[in-house]
Structure formats: C-alpha cells, structure tokens
Amino acid sequence: MWDRTAWGLSFLLGRASVLLGVTVALAWICAFTAIIARQAGPRLVLPVEPPLIGLGLGLAGWLIARSARQPIGRYALAGVLFNALPLILAALLIWQHAWPR
C-alpha cells in the first residue's frame, strides 16, 4: 500500500514541480532580458519565492520516491532543475544590484 501511495504522491509532486518550473523559467527568462536591457530607472529584481516553492515540491517528491525506492523520482529531479534556472537568474539580479557600477 505504501509503495503505490508513495509512487502517486511522488508523481504528483514531481509533475507539479516540472509544471511550475517550466512556466516560471520562461517568465523569468523574458523578465530577466527585459530588466537587463533597461538599465535606466529604478532597480528591479525578480522574486525568489516561486522558484523556491518549486524546488521544495521537487525535493519532497524526490525524497518520497527515494524512501519508497520508486523510479518515478526522475520527474521530481527534472522539476528541481527547471526551478534552479529562475532562482539563479533572480540571484544574478540581486547580485548585480548589490554591487552597482
């Protein structure tokens, strides 16, 4: 019973993480290029909370799959990778604004 529940929960968390990661990554890439291209005016940064939520979902799905020895954890790891990209972009903007030219 635990194996089927763990498989389903890991699958659900992994897919949610992938979906959130892909949508946030696309939006953050567009916003990152728009913010970088526009240097004049107020300093804009990207929020880090949505990628962190996606990372949490992906890591939870991966840990559940790993504890139940289910091979479905690869979706959760894909979600972690997709959510790492927007988090890196947000951190780059924060780093850029911390040390002005």
Domain ranges of the chain: 2-95
- Tell me the pLDDT tens digit for each residue of 37-94: 776 667 777 888 999 999 999 999 999 988 888 787 788 889 899 999 999 988 888 8
100 pLDDT more than 90: no
Among the listed residues 2, 30, 10, 31, the one whose alpha carbon sits nearest the alpha carbon of residue 73: 10
CB of 76 within 8 A of CB of 33? no
**Mean pLDDT of the 26-34 span:** 88
d(CA 58, CA 10) in angstroms, rounded, equals 9
pTM as predicted: 0.82
